[in-house]
């Protein structure tokens, strides 16, 4: 396999840090910028929303630009957005920096996947793409606890200076070693959206959206929850995020294993239903930190366990537009994050407590369960019709 894929994985790691790292340091950002925690939480909401919109739109608008050139430009803009975060004196400017960062991040990640697939022979394509995803998931595991540590030692702005330095290093590596990539045909956005006219596809995408919305009702404000429930120090909060991150990454393996054992449809229903139960339990774990940590393992694992079976399901029901569905599923995921963190911020501001955010999140997860049931029912009906014809 082409060793340059590892450079793309490093790039994905550097860029992937920027989205989730804010969740762990929200109180610090809020205090420094003189805004409420719920207001600071909108930095997550806006990032996810802009990310979801930017990937398909920017790819369509930049379809004629040579891929390496576009990749380098996106990385430069990403670096500048993090430097802007580092020097921003007010919350509005920080928000503008996050918007620019979200737009550039969406392009860098999508182009990393596209370029990785072109660098290798077809038989190594899945492996190459997995390395890029490992870069992103590693950012989830390492990023938040590392961000908390750096914030406590040097201040929250230093986190984004560090990300800028990492992105510069990856920028240099890509400029030196990455070859030019010819422009390939980009599927028009209108064509992508047309596929959502199918009820079973649309409801499957909404399953991801509502699942992530329910998840981020609490996860976006996990630091505030840990301080309120257990009065934890920064080091303990960092440890909790690390435990959650490791559990989340293992969730991919869990989802694949369940998919093999139970089948795609049963796995989807099982994971979503189990996730709703875990969210209901979380408020009752504040009586003891060890109990919360045990539930955190299940929470983290189930939060990512849906991805393998659902993507497998999308390929099964829409084989001709499978690439489009993966792109749209990523957008649905980001919109879910945006909605969950936004609604979570509203509830947090209204109640002045993070303890029962997961309880409200269950409403979204039940909606996800309903969407999954609709999709699976329509899928079964379609297969039954095909068999009779």
Kindly list the domain boundaries of the chain, sorted by start residue.
1-186, 188-389
Q: 0.75 cut: is pTM over it?
A: yes
pLDDT at 82 over 90: yes
Query: Do 1-186 and 188-389 agree at the fold level?
Result: yes
What is the band of 307 on the pLDDT scale with cuts at 50, 70, 90?
confident
pLDDT of residue 98: 96
Query: What is the per-residue pLDDT for 331?
Result: 83
The DSSP call for residue 127 is H
Q: Pick the range with the lowest mean pLDDT from 90-99, 224-233, 316-325, 345-354.
A: 316-325
CA nearest neighbour of 269 among 198, 382, 362, 375? 375
pLDDT over threshold 70, residue 387: no
Q: Report the pLDDT averaged over residues 295-320.
A: 86
Given a cut of 90, whether residue 389 has pLDDT beyond it is no
Task: Summarize pLDDT for 328-339 with one digit per residue, the tens.
Answer: 888 888 899 999
Homologous superfamily assigned to 1-186: MFS general substrate transporter like domains (1.20.1250.20)
Which pLDDT value is given to residue 368?
A: 97
| Cβ atoms within 10 Å of 184's Cβ, excluding its own | 9
What's the pLDDT tens digit per position in 142-157? 888 889 889 999 999 9
Q: Is the pLDDT of residue 255 over 60?
A: yes
Contact yes or no for 225/283 (Cβ under 8 A): no
Tokens of 224: 């505030």
User: What percentage of the chain reaches a pLDDT higher than 90?
Assistant: 54
CATH of 188-389, one of 1.10.10.10, 1.20.1250.20, 2.40.50.140, 2.40.10.10: 1.20.1250.20
Cβ 217 vs Cβ 358: under 8 Å: yes
Question: Where is average pLDDT lowest: 136-150, 259-273, 283-297?
Answer: 136-150
Q: pLDDT-derived band of residue 382, with 50, 70 and 90 as boundaries?
A: low
Among 209, 15, 19, 40, which residue's Cα sits nearest to residue 113?
Answer: 15
Query: Of the given ranges (44-53, 185-194, 230-239, 370-379), which has the lowest mean pLDDT?
Result: 185-194
Name the residue with higher pLDDT: 383 or 278: 278
Take residue 76 and report the two structure tokens written for it.
Answer: 């430069």
| 156, burial (CB in 10 Å: exposed 0-12, middle 13-18, buried 19+) | buried
Computed over every residue of the chain, the mean pLDDT equals 88
pLDDT tens per residue, range 264-283: 899 999 999 999 999 999 99
Q: What is the pLDDT of residue 189?
A: 65
Kindly report which listed range (243-247, 297-301, 314-318) carries the lowest average pLDDT score. 314-318
* pLDDT value, residue 381: 53
Which residues, including other chains, have CB under 8 Å from residue 27's CB and lie 6 or more apart? 37, 40, 223, 224, 227
């Amino acid at each position: 396999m082409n060793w340059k894929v590892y450079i793309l994985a490093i790039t994905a790691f550097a860029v992937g840090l920027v989205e989730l790292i804010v969740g762990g340091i929200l109180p610090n950002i809020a205090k420094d910028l003189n805004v409420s925690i719920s207001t600071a939480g909108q930095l997550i909401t806006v990032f996810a929303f802009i990310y979801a919109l930017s990937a398909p739109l920017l790819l369509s608008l930049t379809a004629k630009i040579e891929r390496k050139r576009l990749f380098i430009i996106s990385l430069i803009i990403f670096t500048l957005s993090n430097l802007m975060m580092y020097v921003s004196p007010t919350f509005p400017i920080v928000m503008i920096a996050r918007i620019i960062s979200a737009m550039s991040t969406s392009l860098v990640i999508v182009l990393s996947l596209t370029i990785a697939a072109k660098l290798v022979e077809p038989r190594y394509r899945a492996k190459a793409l997995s390395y890029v995803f490992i870069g992103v998931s590693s950012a989830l595991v390492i990023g938040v606890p590392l961000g908390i540590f750096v914030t406590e030692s040097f201040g929250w702005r230093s986190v984004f200076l560090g990300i800028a330095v990492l992105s510069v290093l990856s920028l240099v590596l890509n400029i030196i070693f990455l070859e030019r990539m010819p422009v390939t045909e980009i599927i028009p956005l209108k064509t992508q959206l047309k596929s959502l006219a199918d009820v079973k596809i649309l409801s499957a995408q909404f399953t991801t959206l509502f699942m992530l919305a329910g998840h981020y009702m609490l996860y976006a404000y996990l630091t505030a929850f840990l301080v309120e429930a257990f009065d934890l120090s920064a080091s303990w909060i960092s440890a909790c995020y690390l435990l959650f991150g490791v559990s989340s990454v293992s969730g991919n393996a869990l989802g694949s294993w369940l998919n093999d054992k139970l089948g795609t449809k049963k796995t989807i229903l099982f994971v979503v239903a189990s996730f709703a139960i875990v969210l209901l339990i979380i408020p009752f774990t504040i009586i003891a930190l060890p109990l919360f940590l045990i539930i955190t393992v299940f929470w983290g694992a189930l939060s990512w366990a849906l991805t393998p079976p659902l993507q497998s399901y999308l390929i099964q029901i829409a084989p001709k537009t499978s690439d489009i569905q993966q792109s749209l599923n990523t957008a649905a995921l980001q919109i879910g994050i945006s909605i969950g963190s936004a609604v979570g911020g509203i509830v947090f501001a209204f109640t002045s407590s993070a303890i029962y955010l997961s309880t409200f999140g269950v409403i979204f997860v039940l909606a996800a369960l309903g969407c999954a049931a609709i999709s699976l029912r329509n899928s079964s009906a379609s297969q039954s019709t095909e068999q009779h014809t």
